[in-house]
């Protein structure tokens, strides 16, 4: 299953251990979005077994002072 992980943080995602997802072999895509009033936003597109695995992987990554949203991506 594919999930989009949206992260709002005070620093760019590249500094927030996205490489851990790459080493685990689940990262499909990543990018930073245009900063807004709430800080820097970005995303990771990951491919995992289920939502529980997606949540567990995000818990393993240090994301201090971040707002994280995990959404399933429909694959057609």
Domains of the chain: 2-73 (3.30.70.260)
Q: Is the pTM of this model over 0.95?
A: no
User: DSSP secondary structure string, 4-72?
Assistant: EEEEEESS-GGGTTHHHHHHHT-EEEEEE---BTTBEEEEEEEE-SSHHHHHHHHHHS--TT-EEEEEE
pLDDT at 17: 63
Query: Average pLDDT for consecutive 10-residue bins of the chain (76 residues)?
Result: 89 65 91 75 92 93 84 90
pLDDT at 14: 54
pLDDT at 2: 96
């Amino acid at each position: 299953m594919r999930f989009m992980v949206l992260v709002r943080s005070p620093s760019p995602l590249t500094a927030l251990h996205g490489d851990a997802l790459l080493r685990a072999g689940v990262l499909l895509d990543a990018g930073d979005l245009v900063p807004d009033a709430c800080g820097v936003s970005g995303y990771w597109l990951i491919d995992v077994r289920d939502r529980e695995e997606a949540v567990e992987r995000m818990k393993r990554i240090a994301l201090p002072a971040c707002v994280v949203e995990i959404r399933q991506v429909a694959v057609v």
